[in-house]
Amino acid sequence: MIKTLLNRRFQRQESGTQYRTLWQLLHLDLPLLIGIVSLITFGFFILYSATNQQFSMVEQEIIHISLAALIMVFLAQIPPHVYQRWSPALFYLSLFLMVVVLIVGRIDKGAQRWISLGLFRFQPSELMKIAIPMMLAWYFTQHPLPPKLKHIGIAALIILIPAFLAAKEPDLGTAIILILSGICVLLFAGIRWRFVISLFTLITTSAPVLWHFLHGYQRERILTFINPERDPLGTGYHIIQSKIAIGSGGIFGKGWLLGTQSHLHFLPEHATDFIFAVCGEEFGLFGSLFLLLLYLAITAACFRIAQNAQDTYTRLLAGSIGLMFFISVFVNMGMVSGILPVVGLPLPLISYGGSSMITLMASFGILMSIQTHRKLWSQ
Amino acid sequence: MPNHQLTLRNRTRENFLFQKRLLVSIFIVCVASLLLVSRLVYLQIFQYNHYTTLSTSNDIDLHPIPPRRGLIFDRNGLLLATNRPAFNLVITPDKVENIDQMITRIKDILPLNDSDITLFKIQLDQHRRFDQVPLKLKLTPEEVAKFSVNRYLFPGVEVKAQLIRQYPLYNAFAHVIGYVGRINSQDLANVDPTNYAGTDFIGKVGIEKYYESQLHGTVGYEKVETNASGQTVRTISKMAAIKGEDLYLTIDTALQIAAEQALSNDRGAVVAIQPSTGQILALVSQPGYDPNLFVEGINDQNFQTLQNDQSFPLYNRALRGLFAPGSIIKPFIAIEGLDEKATTPSFELFDPGWYKVPGTEHLFHDWKLDGHGWVNITKAIIESCDTYFFDLAHKLGIKNIDLILQQFGFGQLTGIDMGEELPGNVPTPEWKLVHRGTAWYPGDTVQVGIGQGFLQITPLQLAVATATLANRGKHFKPYLLYQTSAPDGSITKQDPSEGDPVILKNPKNWETVINAMTKVIPEGTGYRFGQSKYSVAAKTGTAQLFSVKHDENNPNKVIPIRLRNNSTFIAFAPVDHPKIAIAVIDQNNTTAPEIARKVLDQYLIKERNL
């Protein structure tokens, strides 16, 4: 009965679109949805263990995810041309909010990342994580691709001004993410490879200068990354502990809830940034690979949407959302397993914490919107 | 026709380009995934045995090894500050589910008073989860035994041998060495907290604070394997702590104690300096206090007692006691008077017992009501004639007076390696306009001429100025650190630091004034000093006010202490090649000269056989 419901075809002729299945009626993309649900479910098991079986925290997370899911469904209903039209406005609004945060934050004692909106705190830099790709996608649809040098110049401004504001908060991790998300869009827009090479050379040659601008604790992070043993009681502690946790998981893991490293020294980071270590310890290589596979499946679903997209704006947006999603997974797993320095970025959809979850689900909502608002014939 | 688009979009080409880029992205994803997979395979297969060992059912604990704090000695190697082992009860919060419950249960076995618990709670906030936080210090052997027998009941709590700072000489060096106290979050903000893991104490005042970074050393750590009840099974690896540097101070303990005993119950200060180097031989501020009380966290009662004591034992008078010097300033005024030719060695003035600024009616009285008669500069110094100096000050003018006083170091920080000093005040007309709102009067100048009025100095400044006088102008920065001994045994001696000298236009003026000062004891106001085997140049004085600035609690409150029986005294000896310069302030008695005598005897006779 449910099957017939799911497969019931709704025939409707309205401005050229045809709704075919329940999922399409709801504007949900089934493959992506399945990937997300599977990942989140697996994530709950890991989270439950990481929080030392505090179900209350898992409950909190369920609430966060439900809220985020609602946002996702809501955003999926909005047709992409609306997003396209409002991209610049959203970008300018986010920019404005980031400036407000900096000013207000100066009055507050150092907490420069949040705006308190009564019930919950809102992080404008999170908003910027969607706003930059949308703005860039919009911008690149104004001119033919591949983009010329002056277009890239403007694009660079669109990326670097918010990144600079983020770095001033100071939130270097987010600044890097913003830059990377912009680079993803540039990549998909077809930036010429010679630009990429010259950009790369510019970054490597200015590395010593950038080093000068880093705060003490940021330099510490990089130096400890290269050799965690140099600061085993301070910043090296997390890396050392998580490598032990992952390594001792072996192929099959120690079993759910039976991880020792993560439990004998309860660190809140085990529920947030370093949660992957719990997965590695308790589910072993199989579990880690399985997790990676789930993430790859979601990435593949995103790329599929990008491939099927029908105009430049949607293509660019979909592609960069998918690629950025994978990059944030890679950064977190790389950090936890010790191949990247500690940057304080959570594991998407699994780490405890609401703010990044909402942004992520929102972007999935936009992806679903792109996929399900396609006309059956291309323009 | 709008011409903002000169080229038409080739949508097919754009789509093709995009698909190519999509492939590139997929390629990036694959490469990155492969990287992760190989890393995981490395960790979870190749390094599996290694990491399993590290995470067996035994727990791995990282214990910081606090470094041994550097010792403090006097210039002859006498121990002034040391570390004594004590058994302390420590808790590791990470291993305890409910700390309050745990404390209640501990109370059943060991006595714990409320201040212990309060201090512990404060420390708790400032330590990391896996640090060991001390709950009770200096357990007796019985308490150690009692707890050890029951330790299985208290997982996460253990008895730990730690070193506690001790000052064997109690009060004598309180105002020089200061003390260490329990470390708090403010302290942690100023240092590298990782280096202080496992350290509970930090220098709070005095030398202990000024040289904290040398004294503290570098933390080490050991990785140990512990069993379920937290006992160390074996040490896996260890990085030794580097002990702090030992400090040797310039102070001569015998001299310091002699000065302390000479002052006995009087309030005051004594500062003795070696003129040829600037080394401080003695620095006493009475009353003092027992710094050992502060090490463990002084309990409220004791602290209130000390704080409310009207003699202000916690206040370092040598560095922070401000007073109008009185007659003791006269030699410095005399030097300037001679050098600026406002007077000459032979010029004589008649002193009827009072002075009037020409053109005014106000009478400034000499301390000797019927005056000293005819005085020249030598007699004026010997008998401390106020009238002569009123007149001399008026002739010099405040600008010249300010100049010479500043050259001798008054009105500025001396730069002593202890911090905490006050600069005092050399009043200028500008200063008076800002702080008093009125113009400078000639009457103000003559007051400064006899060391009263707005002039404020500290005993340390006075001693340094006396040393400069003893050197005939050569000025050394006063310092307390004689040498340091590094962990590898190498000794680094501190070199004297010469400041700007006082240069006279006619160097003979030094001798004129100094000669006069040599006669102060045998022929003048310094008779209380008595006859000594060694030659002494001296000057007596009476301080007008000894104000105690309590900046810590009441920034604007200055408590003036009206003094009737008080005395100040400066001297250096021997006159020709001075080995010691001294400044003494006695707030309760006229015995400053006698105090100086005892100190100089100790140094020159007992120690140097002069």
pLDDT at A322: 94
User: B547 versus B448: which is more confidently predicted?
Assistant: B448
Q: Distance between CA atoms of B279 and B496, rounded to whole angstroms?
A: 8
B75 has pLDDT over 90: yes
CB pair distance less than 8 Å for B48 and A248: yes
Q: Which two tokens stand for residue A148?
A: 């010329």
Residues of A in contact with B41 (CB under 8 A): 285
- Region B89-117 average pLDDT: 83
Residues of B in contact with A251 (CB under 8 A): 44-45, 48
pLDDT tens for each residue of A192-240: 888 778 877 887 887 777 777 766 666 766 776 777 666 665 666 677 7
pLDDT tens for each residue of A278-302: 898 889 899 999 999 999 999 999 9
B586 has pLDDT over 70: yes
CB pair distance less than 8 Å for A330 and B15: no
Q: Distance between CA atoms of A307 and B22, rounded to whole angstroms?
A: 8
B218 has pLDDT over 80: yes
Chain centre to alpha carbon of residue A96: 22
CA distances from B111 to A251, B143, B159, B294 (A): 52, 9, 15, 21
- B303 burial level (CB within 10 Å; 0-12, 13-18, 19+): middle
Contact of A265 with chain B, judged by CB distance below 8 Å, is answered with: yes
With a CB cutoff of 8 Å and minimum separation 6, the contacts of A102 are A112, A165, A168, A169
CB pair distance less than 8 Å for B36 and A333: yes
Reduced to 3 states (helix: H, G, I; strand: E, B; else coil), residue A11 is: coil
Contact of A231 with chain B, judged by CB distance below 8 Å, is answered with: yes
pLDDT at A11: 44
B94 has pLDDT over 90: no
- Region B70-77 average pLDDT: 94
Å between B320 CA and nearest CA of chain A: 35
Q: Are B410 and B457 contacting, i.e. CB atoms less than 8 angstroms apart?
A: yes
Q: Are A272 and A335 contacting, i.e. CB atoms less than 8 angstroms apart?
A: no
pLDDT tens for each residue of B508-520: 999 999 999 999 9
Strand ranges for chain A from DSSP E = 115-117, 120-122
Q: Which two tokens stand for residue A214?
A: 């880093």
A 232-261: CB under 8 A from B: 232-234, 237, 243-251, 260-261
Strand ranges for B424-566 from DSSP E = 481-485, 491-493, 537-541, 546-549, 558-559
pLDDT at A12: 45
Nearest neighbour of A247 by CB, restricted to B14, B50, B62: B50
Q: What is the interface size between A and B, counted as CB pairs within 8 Å?
A: 139
A118 has pLDDT over 60: no
Q: Distance between CA atoms of A115 and A122, rounded to whole angstroms?
A: 5
Q: Distance between CA atoms of B270 and B536, rounded to whole angstroms?
A: 17
Contact of A376 with chain B, judged by CB distance below 8 Å, is answered with: no
CB pair distance less than 8 Å for B7 and A190: no
pLDDT at A122: 65
Q: Distance between CA atoms of A236 and A226, rounded to whole angstroms?
A: 10
* Phi/psi at B90 (5° precision): -120, 150
pLDDT tens for each residue of B389-427: 999 999 999 999 999 999 999 999 999 999 889 999 999
Which ipTM score applies to this complex?
A: 0.85
pLDDT at A261: 59
B300 has pLDDT over 70: no
Read off the amino acid at residue A272.
Answer: T
Residues of A in contact with B51 (CB under 8 A): 243-244, 246-248
Q: Which residues of B are catalytic?
A: 327
pLDDT at B297: 65
Reduced to 3 states (helix: H, G, I; strand: E, B; else coil), residue B514 is: helix
User: Which of B29, B52, B61, B199 to mutate against chain A (most A CBs within 10 Å)?
Assistant: B29
Residues of B in contact with A319 (CB under 8 A): 18, 21-22, 25
User: B49 versus B310: which is more confidently predicted?
Assistant: B49
Q: Distance between CA atoms of B277 and B256, rounded to whole angstroms?
A: 18
Supply the DSSP symbol for B43: I
Q: What is the dihedral of CA A225, A228, A234, A237, to 10 degrees?
A: 110
Calculate the average pLDDT of chain A.
Answer: 80
Supply the DSSP symbol for A234: T
Reported for A152-156, long-range contacts at CB under 8 A and 24+ positions apart, including other chains, are A152/A186, A152/A191, A152/A195, A155/A182, A155/A185, A155/A186, A155/A189
pTM: 0.59
CA distances from B222 to A233, B64, B66, B198, B362 (A): 10, 6, 11, 12, 78
Q: Distance between CA atoms of A257 and A253, rounded to whole angstroms?
A: 11
Q: Which two tokens stand for residue B574?
A: 């021997």
Q: What is the dihedral of CA A129, A130, A131, A133, to 10 degrees?
A: 100
B539 has pLDDT over 80: yes
Scan for tokens 């640090």, then name that residue.
B131
Q: Are A145 and A190 contacting, i.e. CB atoms less than 8 angstroms apart?
A: yes
- Region B137-164 average pLDDT: 86
Nearest neighbour of A144 by CB, restricted to B7, B47, B64: B7
* Banded pLDDT at B32 (limits 50, 70, 90): very high
A 324-343: CB under 8 A from B: 326-327, 330, 333-334, 337-339
Chain centre to alpha carbon of residue A39: 14
- Region B464-490 average pLDDT: 94
User: A318 versus A17: which is more confidently predicted?
Assistant: A318
A120 has pLDDT over 80: no
Which of the residue ranges A134-143, B160-169, B221-230 would you say has the lowest mean pLDDT? B221-230
DSSP alpha helix (H) spans, B249-322: 253-263, 292-295, 300-308, 317-320
Q: Distance between CA atoms of A236 and A29, rounded to whole angstroms?
A: 42
A166 has pLDDT over 80: yes
